[in-house]
Amino acid sequence: MYQERPSRLPGAVVWRSIPDPSGARPVLPDGCMDLLWSEGRLLVAGADTRAHVPPGPPALWAGVRFFPGTAPAYLGVPAHELRDQRVDLADLWPAATVRRLRDRLGAADDPAAALEAVALERAAGTGPPDPLPARVVTALESGLSVAATADALGIGARRLHRRCLTAFGYGPKTLARILRLRRALGLARRGVPFAETAARAGFADQAHMSREVRALAGMPLSDLLARG
pTM of the model: 0.91
Q: Which amino acid is at 143?
A: G
List, for residues 86-145, the tens digit of each pLDDT value.
Answer: 999 999 999 999 999 999 999 999 999 999 999 999 999 998 888 999 999 999 999 899
Q: Is there a contact between 15 and 4 (Cβ–Cβ < 8 Å)?
A: yes
**57: which residues sit within 8 A by CB, 6+ positions away?**
none
pLDDT on residue 96: 97
- 226 compared with 24, residue with greater pLDDT: 226
Residue 78: pLDDT over 70: yes
In DSSP notation, 3-41 reads EEEE-SSTT-EEEEE---TT-PPPBPP-S--EEEEETTE
Average pLDDT over residues 46-57: 87
Q: Is there a contact between 137 and 41 (Cβ–Cβ < 8 Å)?
A: no
Instruction: State the Cα–Cα distance between residues 181 and 179, nearest whole angstrom.
Output: 5
Average pLDDT over residues 151-174: 96
pLDDT on residue 132: 95
List, for residues 191-226, the tens digit of each pLDDT value.
Answer: 999 999 999 999 999 999 999 999 999 999 999 998
Residue 22: pLDDT over 80: no
Distance of CA 177 to the CA centre of its chain: 14
